[in-house]
Amino acid sequence: KLRGARRIFMDYASATPVLPEVRRAMKKYWSRDFYNPSAIYEEGVKVKKEIDGYRAKIARILGVAKEGVIFTSGGTEANTWAMRGIKNAKVYIEEESHPSVIEAVKDLPKSSSLEDSTIISSAVADNKLGRRVRELRKKNDSQYPLLHIDASQTAQYFNVGLEVLACDLLTLDAAKLYGPKGVGALIVKKGVKLNLPPIGTPPVPLIAGFAKALEIAVRDRELERKRLDLLSIEFMKSIQEFLPQALISRSLPNIVHVSVPGILPEFLVLALDRAGILVSAGPACNSNKPEPPDTPVRFSFGRSTTSSDIRRAVKIFCQICQSVVK
């Protein structure tokens, strides 16, 4: 490791730091307004009303009734409820789905086509699939298939309102939105019936932080998307220039996947770590499992990423790869 050199975080797809505005929104609930919102005394009732306000704010942003905002412990729980909450579900899962979706449906009947499904799960950021599903329902005069979108990664950079995506269920995770870890939401379109387990006492500080983080994401998403788009393109062009054998792809404005034939992903992640660059290979929740040799290294950029960071990461990455493949 370089002594005194600043370590550069390039794993924003797995975790984000809590923004100062979000911390301020949460602060009063830790020790001052700590009351249980289920209590019927004045202080508890006041906190319950404030939760209703946060729920209503999230609902307005996403274009649903506030009853359609169901708070969860994060994206994984929201995905699980979406997949397992539909009675007698027959599921169709798109290839790029998060491991938590795949895990949730492992013992459910699978469908090989959209037409034969009860629920479809995707992580797309546009409404092409949603429009197709709605046409299919109209043609069959049916309420199925339902469409679930996991927007944990995309909500930071795109409008993920239910009408915009033409979907019925939506997953959000505050930890990917510069909000607190341990809270997310399953957003449910009016009229969709789910069988859900009992829901416990809401985590008030986390909900307050989640609502503020989503509000900030909506405020900043267009400018931040354009900024990270330019940084990603700069990164990709530089890697290609200095390391032409590298295989490079991009899945979002801020996520670039790079693999180098003959070099294991774990080796690259650990070598970059020693050089002060923090990246991952594969989804964060799967990081304790060995990745296949062709798994790309994932560089994901965020609010603190600069052009200088990009240049340093490219230089170090190319030096590591060139020292191995001679």
Alpha helices in 108-203 (DSSP H): 128-140, 162-165
For the segment 155-178, what is each residue's pLDDT rounded down to a tens digit? 999 999 999 999 999 999 999 999
> From the CA atom positions of the chain, what is the Rg in Å?
21
Give the model's pLDDT for residue 295. Answer: 87
Answer yes or no: is pLDDT of 2 > 60: no
Of 181, 318, 186, residue with least CA distance to 263: 318
- Report how far residue 29's alpha carbon sits from residue 47's, in angstroms, rounded to the nearest whole number: 9
- Report how far residue 72's alpha carbon sits from residue 105's, in angstroms, rounded to the nearest whole number: 18
Answer yes or no: is pLDDT of 201 > 70: yes
For the segment 246-280, what is each residue's pLDDT rounded down to a tens digit? 999 998 999 999 999 999 999 999 999 999 999 99
Q: What 3-state class would DSSP assign to 162?
A: helix
Q: Label residue 301 by pLDDT band (50, 70, 90).
A: very high
Answer yes or no: is pLDDT of 193 > 80: yes
Q: What is the mean pLDDT of the chain?
A: 92
Q: Label residue 283 by pLDDT band (50, 70, 90).
A: low
Q: How many Cα atoms sit within 13 Å of 161 on the Cβ side?
A: 13
Structure pTM? Answer: 0.92
Give the model's pLDDT for residue 288. Answer: 52
Answer yes or no: is pLDDT of 318 > 90: yes
295 class by beta-carbon count within 10 Å (0-12 exposed, 13-18 middle, 19+ buried): middle
Note the residue count of the chain: 326
Give the model's pLDDT for residue 267. Answer: 94
Answer yes or no: is pLDDT of 218 > 60: yes
Q: How many Cα atoms sit within 13 Å of 143 on the Cβ side?
A: 8
Structure tokens at 98: 């998060």
Give the model's pLDDT for residue 120. Answer: 93
Sequence-ordered list of residues with C-beta below 8 angstroms from that of 149, at least 6 positions apart, any chain: 121, 122, 123, 124, 130, 160, 165, 167, 169, 170, 171
Give the model's pLDDT for residue 6. Answer: 87
**What is the DSSP code string of 39-92?**
--SHHHHHHHHHHHHHHHHHHHHHTS-GGGEEEESSHHHHHHHHHHSSTT--EE
Answer yes or no: is pLDDT of 1 > 50: no
Answer yes or no: is pLDDT of 293 > 80: no
